[in-house]
Amino acid sequence: MEWNLLKVQFYFQILFLLLQNNNITGPIPKEIGRLANLHTFDISNNVLTGEVPSSLGHLKTLQYLRLNNNSLSGPVPLSLVNMSQLAFLDFSYNNLSGPIPRFPARTFNIVGNPLIFATGKEQECSGTTPLPLSFNLSSSQNQHREEVCLGNLKRFPFRELQVATDNFSSKNLVGKGGFGNVYKGYLRDGTDVAVKRLKDGNPAGGEIQLQTGVEMISLAVHQNLLRLIGFCMTNSERLLVYPYMSNGSVASRLKG
């Protein structure tokens, strides 16, 4: 399938462009750079050729970019450093060459491009930058309170969520699911929240895996989806924090 057969009409309203695994051939159209509000662009696992268009650097709101597993060639455009909101980037398994710009992406993967990295140096071609922390430290009676953020997400101390849910009391249990239980809680500023306590508190991959996971969840923006507002990680706990909605679950509504 070629791009001109897709008959894609470009609108500024497009937030997600997901075209992976479609056997698409030809170059990436430079017109993609006109999608000023694009958040997610995934065209991995196709048969794309040609260079990565420099116009992608115009996508100032792009957060998730996957061009991996194609046959793209040429240098990586320096203009991509302008994508200040980029959280995840995957250019792996292409034929790209030249120097690699200092991407703003926190998670990146460029393995499988032999003209960039020689075989045996794959460990240098991917990684996750340690949490890009923003600190707000204040002291009160010799006690320090630390606020840590990942992008727009707050990293909550476990103790704060423990207090908010009355130590995950059964009286605050509002839902159960395959991945964990959900508790209603009250933050110190009076905000109502729903705290999802994941069952697998210490998964393979640990903190890096959860960091990548919450970044991906935070990219899901839709009027019918709750926006993730924060998370918590300890050696044995993994928790996600959402705004609390009092109207019950979709399942309860469907059951009447």
Bridge partners of residue 186, in order along the sequence: 192
Rounded CA gap, 181 and 244, in Å?
14
Q: Going by DSSP bridges, is the β-strand pair 95-97/73-75 parallel, antiparallel, or unpaired? A: parallel
Per the rule left: phi > 0, alpha: psi between -120 and 50, beta: everything else, 246 is: alpha
Alpha carbons within 13 A on the beta-carbon side of 117: 18
CATH architecture for residues 154-255: 2-Layer Sandwich (3.30)
> CA Rg, the chain, in Å?
21
- Below-70 pLDDT ranges, the chain: 1-12, 117-152, 201-225, 247-256
Annotated binding site for ATP: 196
> Which has the closest alpha carbon to 127: 137, 135, 136, 117?
117
Q: Give the homologous superfamily in CATH for domain 3-128.
A: Ribonuclease Inhibitor (3.80.10.10)
Q: What pLDDT score was predicted for residue 203?
A: 55
> Which has the closest alpha carbon to 90: 106, 74, 114, 73?
106
Q: What is the pLDDT of residues 226-240, one digit of tens each?
A: 778 888 888 888 899
Sequence spans of domains, the chain:
3-128, 154-255
DSSP helix/strand/coil, 122 = helix
Residue located via tokens 């992608």: 56
What is the identity of the amino acid at 31? E
Average pLDDT for the chain = 76
DSSP state of 227: P
Annotated binding site: 196
Which are the contacts of 190, defined by CB distance < 8 A and separation ≥ 6? none
Q: What pLDDT score was predicted for residue 199?
A: 81
Q: For the chain, percent helix, then strand, then coil, each to nearest 5? A: 20, 25, 55
User: Do 26 and 70 contact (CB within 8 A), yes or no?
Assistant: no
Which are the contacts of 255, defined by CB distance < 8 A and separation ≥ 6? none
SS3 annotation, 45-91: CCEECCCCCHHHHHCCCCCEEECCCCCCEEECCHHHHHCCCCCEEEC
DSSP helix/strand/coil, 170 = helix
First to last CA, the chain: 45
